[in-house]
Structure 1
Amino acid sequence: MKYLKHKLYGSLFNLFKIFPVSENRISFIIDSNESFKGNLDYIKKEFERRGNFEFNFFYKDKLSLGSFKKLATSQYVFLNDNFFPMAFMSFKNQAKVVQLWHAPGASKKFGGSVASPDELEMLSKISDNTDYLITSSKRIEDYYAEAFQIDKSKIKALGLPRLDYYFENHDLDKIKSEFCKRYGCDSNKKIILYAPTFRDERKYNNIFDYLDLKSFNEILGKEYVLALRLHPKIRDFYDGNIESSEDYVDCSDYESEQELMMISDVLITDYSSIMIEFAILNKPILFFIYDLENYLATERGFYYDFKTTVPGKLVYTSEELTDAIKNKDFDKDRLSSFTKTQFDEIDGQSSKRVVDFLLNRGR
């Protein structure tokens, strides 16, 4: 009964296998809110450069017979996140189903690395119906094989398409100016982006119980503005009040996290995977880990030793954090080894590699 709706979904889809595959049709499976769309946009643009293709966005919760038919007759099908009906959907042999996955690298354990036996079985069925899983590095293949319960022969380290964004031309002065105008901050100051992740234990989500904002701004306020970007779940598990003030700006509603990273001079985070993407920018990262021992004991864990691997200095108190920024003590030596593990190539050519691979029929 647990997976009945996914089975029914798959059964309905499979009725449309009677129709032939259209060689120029490409489908992207996506949520209605278009979350995690970045990879798909970049793949679409790359195919547009190659020829005359028909693109179809298949919305998971807007079902119609026409949408099922287009999906079933697509030459290429791309996913960017989990889609459990895939366990029961059978595509024709000519079709290639590609999981791009929205997150770069490997950090916190996920999927099959922390799943129950029933979930492992479901992940394995999904992977049976997936032709390729795209990752950012061969060095993390074992982690992805476990997380997706997929054969390593299907894993291709071709890079994350949406990271090509960082190699395009952007008017960063304009982006920063518009950001500061929107949030009422001084565009002459450097931006410190603080992006804490969500904790299951409510008290540790009260970030301002641990960060002394008054002292932080007294010491750093002339040079920096603090921009806060919260994990979406924190507000549901937070006892205090998080509103923009003169002490910081709350930019949690800012649409493009990539723009924020580009205009920020320093990142403060903790256990968030944002560290992986920010690391390719070769800018300082500080890890404000006031609850490290509790997090390691109670949360899902990492694919590596956190203390010795993350790409920046570890700080445990507000005073240590402020001192590190003031003295520019960032321990950037860790950045190089970390990015070499997480990425085979950092060159803005990931979309091209993925499309080349597919058009060359997996060669």
Structure 2
Amino acid sequence: MIKQAGYLLFALFFHLFRLCPVKEKKVFLVATHDAGPDGNIGIVSQRLKEEKPEYEQVWFTRDNTIRRPVDFFIKKPYHLATSSYVFLDNEFLPMAYLHFPQNVKVIQLWHGTGTIKRFGQDVNTGTLKKLEYRANQRITHLIVNSDAVKTEYASAFAVDPDRIYVIGNPRTDRMLDKKYLTGKTEQFYRDYPEMKGKHCILYAPTFRDAEVADPKLHLDLQKVADSLSEEDVFFIRLHPHIASHLKETLAGWQEKGIYNVSEYPEIATLLAAAGILITDYSSIVFEYCLLERPMLFYAYDLKEFEKTGRSFYRDYRSFVPGQVVETEEELLDCLKERNYPKKESFVRENFPLLDGNATSRLFALIFSE
């Protein structure tokens, strides 16, 4: 109720500022998931600076909270109400109560480049589902990578397919840029010079709704450490909420080759440096697959997740581009034996546009209409 009251107050000031003229060359950037330079919003912002420097940019990030009331309830609503373009990488629930002028474009880029697990309108309930639905009706352009994702996002966002554009996601451009990836790898070695020549294993599990109150790692760190060869290092990248609860658990393992990189600012740098990715139901797979490197899927709660969790849009085992293991023993055996079978068709099926020009297509669509 308190959050809803905040959304309503935001909307009240927004509609007051609707009396001000909309500026033709003003862009409002909502980056509440990833405000870094490698996120979708960061990439759009940089391209705007390069190609349209005369455009004014106003950011809204996780730092913009009701704890700064003048900024949240007055400044941001004013800038949003006077912008011609709104780009988002996440849900923005105040939009449930907003009404934009007809010529304003609201572009949802989302923060994933695809999805394995169900989300949004397909899993949420109650007030959250209603607010998300209303907010999503403001979207004029929903950007996706493929027709398969278009079908899933039409359901998850509850938007008309006519508003979904299969032009590719800006983040895929970065993962296809060899010069960019080389720079990221070099950055990684500057941050971790002791890693040069090592085989980097990155473990990045998804966030689980059922573990909010009592997060768990589901790995025996001593067993992991014992299984590593001298050339191996094991990086753990957790969701911020989980990482904050397990910080002490993960401390003190670096000497044994296990590093907690949950607070490392750029996931793209970690992906560029990793020789193999271990994940489960995370959309990170859609970015890493473009590097054509092996993946393992440690789905320790697969049966439970299918029955009581979010479940999946497609059959999990046949869809993911790597071997599925359900126990820690299986996982460590695969790592030890370097047993990494791959599904070669995954990239073709999910990325029909692999030319590195997704951002250019986006700008042509949004700024040339």
Q: CA shift at 1:197, angstroms?
A: 2.9
* 2:29 is equivalent to residue 21 of structure 1: no
Q: CA shift at 1:107, angstroms?
A: 1.3
Aligned to 2:351: 343
* 2:234 is equivalent to residue 222 of structure 1: no
Aligned to 1:265: 275
Find the aligned partners of 1:48 and 1:240 in 2 and give their Cα distance.
41
C-alpha change, 1:344 and 1:14, in structure 2 (3 Å) is: farther
How many residues are matched?
353
C-alpha change, 1:258 and 1:90, in structure 2 (3 Å) is: same
1:124 maps to amino acid? Y
Aligned to 2:68: none
C-alpha change, 1:231 and 1:118, in structure 2 (3 Å) is: closer
2:160 maps to amino acid? D
C-alpha change, 1:239 and 1:261, in structure 2 (3 Å) is: closer
Q: CA shift at 1:104, angstroms?
A: 1.0
Unaligned runs of at least 5 residues, structure 1:
none
Which residue, 146, 150, 154 being the options, matches 2:163?
154
Q: CA shift at 1:309, angstroms?
A: 0.9
Native 8 Å contact 1:204 1:291 kept in 2: no
Which residue, 200, 218, 221 being the options, matches 1:207?
218
Aligned to 2:289: 279
Alignment of 1:249-264 (within 5 A): 249-264=259-274
C-alpha change, 1:291 and 1:239, in structure 2 (3 Å) is: farther
C-alpha change, 1:330 and 1:9, in structure 2 (3 Å) is: same
Find the aligned partners of 2:98 and 2:6 in 1 and give their Cα distance.
12
Aligned to 1:180: 192
Which residue, 52, 56, 59 being the options, matches 1:57?
59
SS in 2 for 1:230: coil
1:84 maps to amino acid? L
Native 8 Å contact 1:210 1:318 kept in 2: no
2:310 maps to amino acid? R
Find the aligned partners of 1:85 and 1:20 in 2 and give their Cα distance.
21
User: In the TM superposition, what whole-angstrom CA distance separates every residue of 1:18-57 from its partner, at most 9, and x where no partner exists?
Assistant: 2222211111124499479721121122223333212122
**How high is the TM-score relative to the length of structure 1?**
0.87
C-alpha change, 1:281 and 1:33, in structure 2 (3 Å) is: closer
Native 8 Å contact 1:287 1:315 kept in 2: yes
Q: CA shift at 1:192, angstroms?
A: 0.9
SS in 1 for 2:240: coil
2:189 maps to amino acid? S
C-alpha change, 1:82 and 1:203, in structure 2 (3 Å) is: closer
Which residue, 339, 343, 360 being the options, matches 1:329?
339
Which deviates further from its counterpart, 273-282 or 55-64?
55-64
Find the aligned partners of 1:277 and 1:173 in 2 and give their Cα distance.
16
Q: Determine what percentage of the aligned residue pairs are the same residue.
A: 31
Unaligned runs of at least 5 residues, structure 2:
66-70
Which residue, 72, 86, 98 being the options, matches 2:81?
72
SS in 1 for 2:219: helix
Q: CA shift at 1:186, angstroms?
A: 4.0
Native 8 Å contact 2:33 2:90 kept in 1: no
Native 8 Å contact 1:112 1:146 kept in 2: yes
